[in-house]
Amino acid sequence: MPDTVGYFPYLNIWPFVQGLPDGSERVVAPPRALVELARAGWLDVAILPVVDVPALADRYETLGDLGLAVAGPVWSVLLLARRPIETLVGARICATPESSTSVRLLTVLLRGRYGIRDWQRSLTPEDADAWLVIGDTALAIYLDRPSAIREPGSSAVREFGSSAGRQVSEAVMRARTFPFLYDLADEWTRWQGRPFVFARWVVRRDRPAAWRRAWYERLLAALEAYLPRLHGSGPVDGLRPWQIAYLRRFEYRLSPAALDGWARFHALWCSVLGVRNG
């Protein structure tokens, strides 16, 4: 049977996807959906939200240093607000259902950096004081801002490409009613001085060590083949300039600073819950 590989439907994993073998069975789903599939034992290899990896440690182990981290702005994890973030006491916040990591990051930032403990969930952005958006939808919203990197004279949605359907177009238009934009990865880095780790690759523990090593080497080979192209001066397999600029923001092999950032975040999250770190 072919190996089942789970990954997000987002641009940021592009370098890894280039290395997936043709014979593998691919499952493309939002982060929370992938976690549920992993819990059910459906995935052999997957990139998962980093906050969910510890709870799956009995079944999956991290695949070396492979993951996604960013030091500074990430462009695709955004809090849009109708008023400044430090005034969001008691605010109604519409939080994406796709990712538990971004919601936890927002919670830690609001409590730890801004002292805001009192906020509530809103079901829709129309009724919200702030709106948490992630992934390619957030990226399209970012590209719509005047300071964004994109080709001159182009609209954000058109620049985003044909995959930007009606849902993304509507999100971009709705986002214009929120005058304040906060990049949560940048908020974290400014506060803690460390990259923020969003996701890590994992593999099943019940598979042979040689099999696990082969998957690490396969994904590492993809990085070694494609990262020099991303950081070169020429075109990259049809990627647009803003896509290349976005992909350059990521660490795909987690540095010691990134791992320290994850340890700090985990400790802060445990303090939010009032539980012991470990």
User: The domain that contains 220 carries what CATH number?
Assistant: 3.40.190.10
Residues 34 and 92 in one domain: no
Residues 59 and 85 in one domain: no
Residues 268 and 219 in one domain: yes
237: helix, strand or coil: coil
Spacing of C-alpha 191 from chain mean position: 19
Spacing of C-alpha 220 from chain mean position: 19
Residues 188 and 204 in one domain: no
Helix axes of 100-108 and 184-192: crossing angle, nearest 10 degrees:
50
Q: What is the pLDDT along the chain (278 residues), one digit of tens a residue?
A: 899 999 999 899 999 998 888 889 999 999 999 999 999 999 999 999 999 999 999 999 999 999 999 999 999 999 999 999 999 999 999 987 777 899 999 999 999 999 998 899 998 999 999 999 998 889 989 988 876 554 444 444 555 544 456 778 888 999 999 999 999 999 999 999 999 999 999 999 999 999 999 999 999 999 999 999 899 877 887 888 889 999 999 999 999 999 999 999 999 998 876 656 55
Domain-ending residue, one of 192, 209, 232? 192
- Dist. CA 134–CA 98, nearest whole Å: 8
Residues 92 and 163 in one domain: yes
Residues 200 and 63 in one domain: yes
In a domain, 278, yes or no: no
In a domain, 155, yes or no: yes
Domain with 106 in it:
77-192
In a domain, 39, yes or no: yes
Residue 255 in tokens = 């540095």
Instruction: State the total domains in the chain.
Output: 2
- Taking the complete model, does pTM exceed 0.85, yes or no? yes
